[in-house]
Structure 1
Amino acid sequence: MQTESEARSLAPETRSIGNTIRLTGWITFWVQLGLAVVSGLVLLFAYTGRGLTEQPNAGLGVGIFWAVCGVVVLLFSVYWDFRYTRIGKSLENPNPALHSSKADTTKIIRLGVFLSLVGILLTLLGAGATVAVLVAKSISQPPGVAITDPYKIIRALDVFVVLANVNGIAAHFIGTVTSLWLLERVHQH
């Protein structure tokens, strides 16, 4: 059992790491939420725009599917960032009974790393599928101005799917780097 002086000497370090986790959680929360909203809106626009055209493009449906999966994981990651803020706030509390243990904090941050890596994988699959469709469309067009098949035209809506996936990759990358940094900070204390 700790004496009162040991608890006081431990408290500034615990409060410091709590403050770091809380502030980092809030910054990452807002950055990832912004990127999730942008990705979601771009995907919504691309998906609804596909229904307005007469040109079926089944290949892009796979890219949209993986992008939507990436955005869903990104929304869960945003929730996880909010959870970091709550952990940080609990560690800043002067009552040591309310502090989460180092093992629990480490476990939660590791799950955040895993979550972000899964999100990167999903959005990379979406970006790869979409870019493959766009490359196939671009090389199937004959050189020159005349377009013989209107189904092989690369439309702006097709590029929006790539944009949504790239935003998702960036958001998950930020989440991964943040979680790894927090994990290192927790291990130092």
Structure 2
Amino acid sequence: MPDQPDFPLLSLGMRRIGWIRFWIQTILGVVVIGVLLFNNVGSSLARNSERALGLGPGLSLTTFAFFLLLYSLWQGWLIVRAGRAINSPARPSRGETSRLLKRGLIVDLLGLVFSSVGYQSLAGALFVQASMQAPGISLGVGKFDMNNYPITSLEMLSVLSNTQVLFAHLIGLIFSLWLLQRIYRLK
């Protein structure tokens, strides 16, 4: 008699990994939305907000990667539900479960692409801004002094939000690949 797949062990593993993925991505998503909201509110209150126009494309791509992260969170919840269903008599097929995991992989890969391009955009804008700084301390004469544009903490927060969303998609990708490998390893 051939060995039966160990469905209770697979179910436990999918539920645990699904919950770990879900909560890590949720925490990172809360950090991202907090930083993006703080960045939008803070940049509108900043005196020289017109000089940070180069950050717009990077922040837009970061926001789009965040929306993909929300979809990835929903996929993580579906992985937990599939893990519960595997241990029941009406278990999903290997094909259904692998399609669910592959959808999560594609979303996380798209999120990685958009957040990576956004990161490059943010880093490029901050590099240009840093290269325009005058050496030493500038004691300007008001708004007519265009020599020194220091990089502010709000601009660094935009890079931080992008890094957080990139890491959240990387976590989702790693966990989805590991679960997909476990499903295909079953006999």
The answer to whether the superposition gives a TM-score over 0.5 is yes
2:149 paired residue number: 152
Q: Which residue in the other structure is 1:165 paired with?
A: 162
- Describe the shift of the 1:42–1:182 C-alpha distance in structure 2 as closer, same or farther (beyond 3 A): same
- Name the residue aligned to 1:78: 73
Query: How far off its partner does 1:170 sit?
Result: 0.6
Q: How many residues align?
A: 179
Q: Match for residue 46 of structure 1?
A: 39
The answer to whether 1:128 aligns with 2:123 is no
Q: Which structure features the higher share of helix residues?
A: 1
Distance 1:118 1:161 in 2: 20
Percent identity between the two aligned chains: 28
Cross-structure match for 1:177: 174
Q: Distance in 1 between matches of 2:173 and 2:181?
A: 12
Structure 1 residues 47-66: aligned runs within 5 Å: 47-55=40-48, 56=50, 57-66=52-61
**CA shift digits 1:104-161 (9 cap, x unpaired):** 1111111111110101111112111111111001011111111642772211100000
Deviation for aligned residue 1:15: 1.9
Q: Secondary structure at the match of 1:159?
A: helix
3-state DSSP of counterpart to 1:153: coil
TM-score (norm 1): 0.90
Please give the root-mean-square deviation of Cα atoms over the aligned residues, in Å. Answer: 1.6
Deviations 1:24-65 (A, max 9, x none): 000110000000000110011011111112321211111111
C-alpha distance in 2 between matches for 1:124 and 1:161: 13
> Structure 1 stretches (4+) deviating beyond 6 angstroms?
none
Cα distance in 2, alignment partners of residues 72 and 46 from structure 1: 17
Residues 150-188 of structure 1: per-residue CA shift (max 9 Å, x gap): 772211100000000000111000000000000000000
Segments of structure 1 that go 5 or more residues without pairing to the other structure are none
Equivalent-residue separation in structure 2 for 1:137 and 1:58 (angstroms)? 11
Q: Quote the Cα distance in structure 2 between the aligned partners of 1:30 and 1:114.
A: 20
